[in-house]
Amino acid sequence: MLENIVEFFKSLPDKICVKCGEKIEEQSECYTNTCDKCSSL
Ligand SMILES: [Zn+2]
């Protein structure tokens, strides 16, 4: 069961910041499309 969840997250495409194009590491903030740098500006 747990392995299926891991595979699910692996299959997700990388989120890209819409402002600078950097890959977003924070998966918890699903509602934002910007990275920490841009969202804090
Ligand atoms: Zn950014």
CA–CA separation, 18 vs 7, rounded Å?
26
**Structural domain of residue 36, as residue ranges?**
14-41
CA–CA separation, 2 vs 30, rounded Å?
21
Q: What is the pLDDT of residue 7?
A: 85
Residue 29 covered by a domain:
yes
Residue 7 covered by a domain:
no
- Average pLDDT estimate for 18-27: 84
Asked if residues 33 and 17 have their Cβ atoms less than 8 Å apart, the reply is yes
- Average pLDDT estimate for 10-24: 85
Measured distance between the N- and C-terminal CA atoms of the chain, rounded to whole angstroms: 40
**What's the CA-to-centroid distance between 24 and ligand 1, angstroms?**
8
Percentage of residues in the chain having pLDDT higher than 90: 10
Task: Please determine, for residue 1, whether its predicted confidence score (pLDDT) is greater than 70.
Answer: no
Residue 30 covered by a domain:
yes
**What's the CA-to-centroid distance between 31 and ligand 1, angstroms?**
14
pLDDT band at 21 (very low <50, low <70, confident <90, very high): very high
Asked if residues 26 and 36 have their Cβ atoms less than 8 Å apart, the reply is yes
**What's the CA-to-centroid distance between 23 and ligand 1, angstroms?**
8
Query: What is the number of structural domains in the chain?
Result: 1
Q: What is the pLDDT of residue 31?
A: 67
**What's the CA-to-centroid distance between 9 and ligand 1, angstroms?**
22
**What's the CA-to-centroid distance between 7 and ligand 1, angstroms?**
27
